Amino acid sequence: MTEPAPTALTRAEWEPQARAHAEAADALTAGHRERAGRAEKHAIEDFLFEYYGVRPSRLRRWHPGPGIVLEDAPEHARWTFYRDGAPGTQVDVDAFLEARGRGLAHIVRLLEATASRPARYGCFGLHEWAMVYRADDERRHPLPLRLGQAGTDAVVEANPIACSHIDAFRFFTPEARPLNQLQPTRETQVAMEQPGCLHATMDLYKWAAKLTPVVPSSLTLEAFALALEVRQVDMQASPYDVSRFGLEAIAVETPEGKREYARRQRDFAERGGALRARLLEALSPISHAVARSAPPRAPREADRVDSDDQRRPMKRIVPHG
C-alpha cells in the first residue's frame, strides 16, 4: 500500500508525549488499580475493564499512529504491529492489515453507517430494565433493584422498549425480548446502529482499542474517558440502586427522569459524533487499502479487544447493568 511520508520524532520529542499519556491514563484508572490491589470490585466502573478486556497497563501505552517514525524506541519495537529499522521504529500497517484487515473494514462500515443516520432519543435507558424483567433473582448484577422486582416489571410493561443495540438486546430476559419494538441481530448491526444510543458511544472505546496501534492513543484515551461518563449515566438510569456510590438515580419511570435522560443522551451523541468523525479520519489513510467490497468479518458475539501480547479467552460476564 502507499503510505504517507513519515514524520520522524527524536526520543526527546516523543518521550514527553508518551509520559504525559501514561500519566493521564494512570489518573483515569487509579481507582480500578487500587481496588484490584485490594481484590475489591466496583459495580459501575469495573465494567469497562472486564467487558472490554483492556488492562490499565495496555491503556497507558502510547501509540503515535501510522506515519510517525520514532527514533531510539526499543520499547515500541517489541510491541505487536511495529517494525524496526532505518530510520527508526513505526507502526507496521501492512502487517496489521494482513492480520486484521477484514475486521478493520467491518468497523469502518459500522462507524460510517452510524454516523450517517439521525440519532434517536426515545429508548430512555430501558434496555437495562429489560435485562431483569420478570427475573426470579438478581443474578445479573450485585446491586439491588431500586423499585424491587414487581416495580421494575411494572415500568417495563408501562413503557415502550426501543433498543437498537445488539449487545444490550442480547441480554434481555426471554420475557422482555418480544416487548422490544426492534429485534437487532449481529447481522443487522451495521444497518441498525444509531448515534443516539449510549452504548454505541461507549463502544467507540472498544473500536479504538481494538484497532491499536493504527489508532493514536490520544483518541483511545479520549474514548475511554467518554465511556466512563456514559457508563455512569447508564447505571444512574438503570433499575439498580446506585446510591452507595454517591449517585442520584435518573428516574426514567417519571416524565422528569425521561427528560433528564434524553438531555444527557443528546450531549453524549454530540460528543460521540465528533469523536466518531475523528476516529474515521484517523483510519482513512489505511482503510482504503482494504477491499471494501469483500465481505467483512463480523465481530464475535462477545467481542473482546485482543492484548498486544497475547490472546486471552473471554470470561463470560453480563456487560450492561
- Check whether 286 has a pLDDT greater than 90: no
Cross-strand partners of 180: 161
User: Which phi-psi region, left, alpha or beta, contains residue 209 (left: φ > 0; alpha: ψ -120 to 50)?
Assistant: alpha
CB 140 within 8 A of CB 180: no
pLDDT confidence of residue 288: 73
% pLDDT > 90, the chain = 79
Q: Which range, of 101-115, 216-230, 245-259, 288-302, averages the lowest pLDDT?
A: 288-302
Q: How many Å apart are CA 171 and CA 149, to the nearest integer?
A: 17
- Check whether 319 has a pLDDT greater than 70: no
Across residues 238-261, what is the average pLDDT?
Answer: 97
What digits encode the pLDDT tens for the residues 184-221? 999 999 999 999 999 999 999 999 999 999 999 999 99
> For the stretch 65-89, what's the b/e string if a residue is b when 16 or more beta carbons lie within 10 angstroms of its beta carbon?
bbebbbeebeebeebebbeeeeebb
Q: What are the distances in angstroms from CA 85 to CA 69, 91, 149, 230?
A: 10, 11, 62, 42
pLDDT bracket for residue 63 (50, 70, 90): very high
What is the C-alpha radius of gyration for the chain, rounded to an integer number of angstroms? 21
pLDDT bracket for residue 3 (50, 70, 90): low
- Check whether 1 has a pLDDT greater than 80: no
- Check whether 67 has a pLDDT greater than 60: yes
Q: How many Å apart are CA 71 and CA 162, to the nearest integer?
A: 52
pLDDT confidence of residue 314: 31
Tell me how far the alpha carbon of residue 200 is from its chain's centroid.
7
Q: How many Å apart are CA 22 and CA 181, to the nearest integer?
A: 44
pLDDT confidence of residue 298: 53
- Check whether 317 has a pLDDT greater than 70: no
For the chain, the helix, strand and coil percentages under 3-state DSSP, each to the nearest 5: 50, 5, 45
DSSP, collapsed to helix, strand or coil, labels residue 196 as coil
Hey, which bits of the chain come out as E strands? 7-9, 68-70, 82-85, 88-91
Q: How many Å apart are CA 170 and CA 164, to the nearest integer?
A: 11
pLDDT confidence of residue 136: 75
Nearest to 76 by CA among 18, 20, 27: 18
- Residue 139 C-beta-side C-alpha neighbours within 13 Å: 7
Which one is predicted more confidently, 5 or 104? 104
Across residues 125-153, what is the average pLDDT?
Answer: 88
pLDDT confidence of residue 287: 78
Nearest to 62 by CA among 7, 18, 1: 18
pLDDT bracket for residue 297 (50, 70, 90): low
Q: H or E stretch including 57?
A: helix 56-59
Cross-strand partners of 161: 180
- Beta carbons within 10 angstroms of residue 300's beta carbon: 9
Hey, what's the cell of 157? 410493561
pLDDT confidence of residue 273: 98
Across residues 253-273, what is the average pLDDT?
Answer: 98
DSSP, collapsed to helix, strand or coil, labels residue 240 as strand
